[in-house]
């Protein structure tokens, strides 16, 4: 079952539980952040906008130790309150940009969701808005992190789609937490394409730097933090 912090989210950082008023800047206090400035600084922002399989792709963070630990607390230790942490610094922008989109979430194993008491990607998507579609599902319990890079192509036989009619002629935002081989996104895209949506965009929370190279993303990326991304890959 998921955890729920008893302390008001308005008073403390969701991640470290320190007082936001004591650790955050004047700007943050009036921007309604739920994370303190210290924890915000631990996210490695790369904010890359590029294309993947012919569709606009945006990746927000590098998958560093901080993000890995945070994601484990959220998914592995069932800390449901952390759903609000991942998009905290982007929330208002994403709400404006995707207000007319249906958010389609990449699936997680149903047994794991039953144990948690929530579906991780769906809960994160709901922090943008409530128009969320969870019709993508895993036919069997398949944990991609247990597979090698080459074995992950098998995901194409694992994911299915229910209620695809809801996607017809809709603007779609496909959301996933971590991108590795890209096979999950490819499979989801193929299933969504069959339903003839009006438009598809992709939002990924984090990616390991080596996969930026493997997927060819680093060569074509265009971003405000383009130079920072290269520096991160070279020196971190």
User: pLDDT (tens digit, 9 = 90+) per residue, 107-156?
Assistant: 998 889 999 999 999 999 999 999 999 999 998 865 555 544 455 555 56
CB 81 within 8 A of CB 115: no
| 181, part of any domain | yes
Percent of the chain topping pLDDT 90: 63
**DSSP three-state, residue 52:** strand
Task: Specify the higher pLDDT residue, 232 or 88.
Answer: 88
| 12, part of any domain | no
Q: Which residue has the tokens 């929370």?
A: 205
| 226, part of any domain | yes
| 33, part of any domain | no
Max CA separation in the chain (angstroms): 51
* Burial profile 40-64: b = 16 or more Cβ within 10 angstroms, e = fewer: beebbbbbbebebeebebbbbbbbb
How many domains, the chain? Answer: 1
The CATH number assigned to the domain holding 208 equals 3.40.50
| 191, part of any domain | yes
| 13, part of any domain | no
| Domain that residue 206 falls in | 44-235
| 57, part of any domain | yes
pLDDT tens string 82-100: 999 999 999 999 999 999 9
| 16, part of any domain | no
């Amino acid at each position: 079952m998921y955890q729920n912090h008893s302390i008001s989210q308005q008073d403390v950082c969701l991640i470290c539980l320190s007082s936001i008023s004591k650790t955050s800047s004047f700007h943050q206090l009036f921007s309604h952040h739920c994370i303190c400035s210290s924890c915000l600084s631990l996210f490695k922002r790369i904010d890359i906008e590029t294309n993947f399989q012919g569709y606009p792709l945006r990746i927000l963070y590098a998958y560093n130790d901080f993000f890995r630990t945070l994601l484990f607390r959220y998914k592995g230790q069932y800390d449901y309150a952390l759903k609000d942490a991942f998009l905290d610094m982007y929330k208002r922008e994403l709400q404006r940009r995707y207000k007319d989109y249906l958010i389609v979430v990449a699936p997680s194993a149903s047994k794991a969701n039953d144990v948690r008491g929530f579906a991780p990607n769906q809960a994160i998507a709901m922090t943008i808005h409530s128009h969320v579609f969870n019709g993508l599902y895993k036919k069997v319990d398949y944990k991609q992190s247990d597979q090698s890079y080459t074995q992950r192509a098998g995901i194409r036989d694992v994911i299915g789609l229910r209620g695809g009619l809801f996607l017809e002629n809709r603007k779609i935002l496909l959301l996933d937490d971590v991108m590795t081989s890209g096979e999950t996104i490819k499979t989801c895209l193929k299933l969504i394409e069959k339903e003839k949506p009006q438009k598809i965009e992709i939002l990924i929370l984090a990616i390991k730097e080596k996969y930026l190279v493997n997927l060819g993303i680093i060569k074509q990326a265009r971003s405000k933090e383009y130079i920072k991304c290269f520096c991160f890959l070279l020196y971190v």
